[in-house]
Amino acid sequence: MRIGTIEVENPLFLAPMAGVTDWAFRTICARLGAGVTVTEMVSSRALVYQDQKSAKLLRKNAGSICGAQIFGNDPDIMARAAQLALEISGCDFLDINMGCPMPKIANSGDGCGLMRTPELAGEIVSAVGKAVNVPVTVKCRLGWDKGSINVLDFAKRMEDSGAAMITVHGRTRSMLYSGVADWDTIGKVKQCLTIPVVANGDITGGAAAVSCARRTGADGLMIGRSVFGDPWIFQEVSAALKGEEYPGRPCLKDRVAVAVEQFRLAQEDHGEHIACLEARKHFAWYLRGVAHSGYYKNQITSLTTMEDIYRVAKDVVRDLQ
């Protein structure tokens, strides 16, 4: 598939997830088989007001095609923010968040709130498209709630406004992250559009990816929560889509080594203190399903230095391998 002018050889996408898919984790996922990554969402207003924290979230990772994601509802501010996001990051494409369901965002007309104002959403895509020289893409949901599912018309409008690709998360705003993602409706979107469509929601492993690809006919697949602590899911999905046998996850020692490498990258990116706070949740995810790991998960909740991380990692491998 292509995102505008960009040829995508491996259409497996890592979903943008605020608080999770920072530069370190995106780097790891790209190394382990994500073909496309997207930064955590960044507020267009914050960028325009030169908030340094927001700018830092946009760091482009190596090893994959990488998009920068922004949210907002003012076409001029979005256009300016898009330019800034690309100047700061050098990302390959610019993604507009039209799916965020959080009340603070959606109720003020940003994120999924834009699905209630399709005309404005179209103006934003067109304004951003004029302001930047990389492909502009959109990520949306099925609609605001089950009584107002409008993704077919909405997606068509995004295409007509110049979007180069659309990712559809098969839930409504009111479903948040529960209930089952509706892949059939994503399939209908695919049939209505000529730009590539990426399917998202509930791709939990190889078998789910194969059914989702069949049911939607989508050009790409985007994986969200199932990647927590499991960046190897891209290898599993890739093998399943090719009809190949997947040999299984690496052994615990090698998985822990990848986790530690992620935390080392996070330290390089935002310093030891924040890296250790972030590592608390990621490390616990990496140990999910590991027998007798409860004791170590407890220790992980109070990690404060990289030395703590190295020590726990060593103990885990020694005791649980």
Ligand X SMILES: Cc1cc2nc3c(=O)[nH]c(=O)nc-3n(C[C@H](O)[C@H](O)[C@H](O)COP(=O)(O)O)c2cc1C
Q: Which residues lie closer than 8 Å to 218 by C-beta, 6 or more apart?
A: 186, 187, 190, 197, 198, 199, 212
Q: Compare residues 70 and 312 and give the one whose CB is closer to ligand X.
A: 70
Q: Compare residues 186 and 276 and give the one whose CB is closer to ligand X.
A: 186
DSSP secondary structure string, 165-223?
Answer: -EEEESSBGGGTT-S---HHHHHHHHHH-SS-EEEES---SHHHHHHHHHHH--SEEEE
Q: Compare residues 1 and 15 and give the one whose CB is closer to ligand X.
A: 15
Q: Provide the minimum distance between the beta carbon of 206 and ligand X in the complex, in angstroms, as a whole number.
A: 14
Handedness of CA 32, 165, 183, 202 (dihedral sign): positive
Q: Compare residues 97 and 267 and give the one whose CB is closer to ligand X.
A: 97
Q: Are 221 and 186 in contact (CB under 8 A)?
A: no
Cβ count near 17 (within 10 Å):
16
CB-closest chain residue to ligand X: 224
Q: Provide the minimum distance between the beta carbon of 162 and ligand X in the complex, in angstroms, as a whole number.
A: 19
Query: What are 169's strand-pairing partners?
Result: 200
Q: Hey, what amino acid is at 303?
A: L
Q: Provide the minimum distance between the beta carbon of 37 and ligand X in the complex, in angstroms, as a whole number.
A: 11
Q: Provide the minimum distance between the beta carbon of 303 and ligand X in the complex, in angstroms, as a whole number.
A: 20
Class of residue 6 by CB neighbours under 10 A (exposed 0-12, middle 13-18, buried 19+): middle
Q: Provide the minimum distance between the beta carbon of 97 and ligand X in the complex, in angstroms, as a whole number.
A: 5
Q: Compare residues 129 and 201 and give the one whose CB is closer to ligand X.
A: 201
DSSP secondary structure letter of residue 228 = T
Residue of 29, 100, 112, 212 marked catalytic: 100
Q: Which residues bind ligand X (CB under 6 A)?
A: 15-20, 40-41, 69, 97, 99-100, 139, 169, 177, 181, 200-203, 223-226
Q: Compare residues 37 and 312 and give the one whose CB is closer to ligand X.
A: 37
Q: Provide the minimum distance between the beta carbon of 138 and ligand X in the complex, in angstroms, as a whole number.
A: 10
What are the φ/ψ torsions at residue 79 (nearest 5 degrees)? -65, -45
CA–CA dist 279, 271 (Å, integer) = 12
Q: Check residue 229 and give left, alpha or beta (phi > 0: left; psi -120 to 50: alpha).
A: left
User: Is 100 an annotated catalytic residue?
Assistant: yes
Cβ count near 296 (within 10 Å):
18
Q: Compare residues 100 and 256 and give the one whose CB is closer to ligand X.
A: 100
What are the φ/ψ torsions at residue 231 (nearest 5 degrees)? -65, -10
Q: Provide the minimum distance between the beta carbon of 283 and ligand X in the complex, in angstroms, as a whole number.
A: 17
DSSP secondary structure string, 67-119?
Answer: EEEEE-S-HHHHHHHHHHHHHHH--SEEEEEE----HHHHTTTSGGGGGG-HH
Question: Which residues are known to be catalytic?
Answer: 100
